[in-house]
Amino acid sequence: MDTILVVNAGSSSLKFEVFSIEGGLHKRLKGQMEGVGTAPHLRVKDGAGAVIADHVFEPGDVADLPAAMRHVGAWLVERHEGRLVAVGHRVVHGGPDYTAPVLIDEKVIADLERYVPLAPLHQPNNLAPIRAILERRPDLPQVACFDTSFHRGHSAVADHYAIPEHFFAEGVRRYGFHGLSYEYVAGRLPEIAPEVAGGRVIVAHLGSGASLCALSAGRSVESTLGFTALDGLPMGTRCGQIDPGVILYLLDQKGMTAHEVQDLLYKDSGLKGLSGVSNDVRALLESTEPSAAFALDHFVYRIGLNAGMLAAALGGLDAFVFTAGIGENSPDMRARISDGLRWFGAALDAQANARGDLLISTPESVVRLYVVPTDEELMIARHTLAISGH
């Protein structure tokens, strides 16, 4: 059995999936090494969702992502019966030039290292497993799939900040992220919602990271995320859109260092910062703290505002699609967000929403509302299969 490994490396976790490729892609394994460097824990499930591995490691044994990749690799060699023919990686930043997934070689790695300053918290983690695999298995084709590529068709007007032009040439521009998720959802729409696939659609990727993407006939024309994954909607721990003057204030008046500001905006803001309770929407929905309810109100309000902005980019709206952890699993949040879209003519069908149907708007609704589960790993596996030539 020939297989493809998909690797999604975050700051302290390494997620992976294995797909067999005979007769189409089939998910065989799904696992993650969490708590890298602190409390490493490897869990793997088979294609049917049964747990087939559950190991706790000493922090020193899995101190960093290359070590996590070595452990996962060793586990796969020992336990996985397939023959690995290619590896696909999620890479957050493809810069201005990588408009599509690419077969990795030394030049590609050197290019992607240039984008580390553009995504200092994510890009090094994405590159570490690539190098770890290259060292052990230089023969194995590796493919980089970018969160930015799907948005590279945006107009220059959309991609610019109103600062002197030379910054744009240096790479200071609006990139947009969550592109693999949006590409997957855009690819599903012609099959499951052909009546809107050719029209004006906003997709809301609402997970621990959150953004909206405006699709015109399936192509991304606007995103709430910009230069970094900090912009747009408030997220689990990230601030979302903020007046740059606040950052100047923190630096000048509060004497914070750039690093402290970075930590504040990436790790201690968003739902966590506002509520003081949690970054997890489930915990906020259950909490009786007024600050938890306030944080959710703010989140819903900002989604409504940003939806208006993206609808302006599209010149109207035919459909709004919910996806990712919050969008797929929380009827309560979908109802609140849909309420903010009523002025567009969106009317939620409460029963369909409670059931988590694909179509959750009423037949009269002017804007159709959908729930479409995303699958970034499958998207990466597809690209990897196509590019590695198997």
The footprint of ligand ADP (CB under 6 A) covers: 207-209, 236, 280-282, 324-326, 329-330
- Helices and strands in the chain: count of H runs, count of E runs: 16, 13
Is the Cβ of residue 20 or residue 353 nearer to ligand ADP in the bound state?
353
Is the Cβ of residue 90 or residue 173 nearer to ligand ADP in the bound state?
90
Cβ neighbours for 328, distance < 8 A, ≥ 6 positions apart = 322, 356, 371, 373, 374
Beta carbon of residue 181, minimum distance to ligand ADP (angstroms, whole number): 8
Active site residue 147: yes
Is the Cβ of residue 11 or residue 38 nearer to ligand ADP in the bound state?
11
Q: How far is CA 123 from CA 8, 147, 273, in A?
A: 11, 11, 25
Beta carbon of residue 21, minimum distance to ligand ADP (angstroms, whole number): 24
The type of residue at 224 is T
Chain centroid to CA 371: how far? 17
Is the Cβ of residue 322 or residue 344 nearer to ligand ADP in the bound state?
322
Catalytic residue among 147, 159, 318, 349: 147
Phi, psi of 251 (to 5 degrees): -75, -50
Is the Cβ of residue 73 or residue 209 nearer to ligand ADP in the bound state?
209
Beta carbon of residue 359, minimum distance to ligand ADP (angstroms, whole number): 20
SS3 assignment, position 82: coil
Beta carbon of residue 332, minimum distance to ligand ADP (angstroms, whole number): 7
Q: Cβ-closest residue to ligand ADP?
A: 325
Classify burial at 110, counting beta carbons within 10 Å of its beta carbon; exposed 0-12, middle 13-18, buried 19 or more. exposed
- Residue 33, both tokens: 């090494």
In degrees, to the nearest 5, what angle opens at C-alpha 103 toward C-alphas 100 and 104? 115
Is the Cβ of residue 263 or residue 332 nearer to ligand ADP in the bound state?
332
Q: How far is CA 52 from CA 55, 73, 133, 155, in A?
A: 10, 16, 23, 47
CB 278 within 8 A of CB 235: no
> For the chain, how many residues are written?
390
Rounded Cα–Cα distance for residues 338 and 294 (Å): 18
Beta carbon of residue 61, minimum distance to ligand ADP (angstroms, whole number): 25
For residue 344, the 8-state DSSP code is G
CB 101 within 8 A of CB 143: yes
Beta carbon of residue 270, minimum distance to ligand ADP (angstroms, whole number): 10
Which residues are catalytically annotated?
A: 147
